[in-house]
A and B are shown apart, each in its own frame.
Chain A
Amino acid sequence: QVQLQESGPGLVKPSETLSLTCAVSGSSMTSGYYWGWIRAPPGEGLEWIGSMYHSGSTFYKPSLQSRVTISIDTSENQFSLRLESVTAADTAVYYCARGRGNTGLFDFWGQGTLVTVSS
């Protein structure tokens, strides 16, 4: 059973850095999957943030690229999201997810974690 679980602060101050980790169980992180982050602002739809392959290759949504870093620790079976210089517009439920094969098709998702940007 593949499971993903996000963890990290639920409240971040404006201009600071949002950091989340996704723990993966039931799936090897080196067996041909992409690992991604998706967010959903309250009452809004889904927005893909970025994805990473275990080899280290990453790709990000262009409008977020200057502020986003996704990294992976295969020894700990987890991957992480860093989003710098946050504003209230970054308030959202953040999901981590597994990308099937070498695609952006997300087949398993974490439960999601709400991150609020506020002073």
Chain B
Amino acid sequence: DIVMTQSPDSLAVSLGERATINCKSSQNVLYGSNSKSYLAWYQRKPGQPPKLLIYWASTRESGVPDRFSGSGSGTDFTLTISSLRAEDVAVYYCQQYYSSPYTFGQGTKLEIK
């Protein structure tokens, strides 16, 4: 299985400031034939299902605000929220969909400082 490890486990950021969450996969999730990294980011708020934010490591899902961005390739990835808003408080998960069993990171809890 591909193990996904996020850092940090929790993060407190002031409103309007940048939040950065890292994700590392135990194996390369870059598919050579299409040069795409099979890495997604989800946002999960209490009582709500996960919401897809980013896929192919850096493609924003339709309707997701442009303050959310993803970067990275291969085994190291980053989710950045450029200017934190109160509604961004949530737990964020990375997920590899390169191979079954699909696996998620342990989650990063983002709070307001």
Contacts and interface: CB of A to CB of B under 8 A. Distances in A.
Interface of A: 38, 45-48, 51, 59-62, 95, 97, 100, 103-107, 109-112
Q: Which 4 A-B pairs have the closest CB atoms?
A: A109-B49, A104-B102, A104-B97, A46-B104
A47 B104 contact: yes
Given A104-B97, A107-B61, A48 B103 contact: yes
A1 to B, nearest CB: 12
Determine chain B's interface SS by DSSP, over half rule.
Answer: loop
Nearest to A61: B101
Contact of A107 (B1, B52, B93, B102): B52
Nearest to A95: B49
Given A95-B50, A105-B40, A109-B50, A45 B104 contact: yes
Given A61-B101, A95-B50, A104-B97, A45 B38 contact: no
Contact of B102 (A48, A95, A109): A48
Interface residues of B, number: 23
B69 to A, nearest CB: 18
A74 B73 CA distance: 37
A77 to B, nearest CB: 19
Contacts of B102: 48, 51, 104
Contacts of B95: 46, 104-106
A51 B99 CA distance: 12
Given A62-B101, A103-B97, A109-B49, 6 more contacts: A46-B93, A46-B107, A61-B101, A107-B61, A109-B51, A112-B49
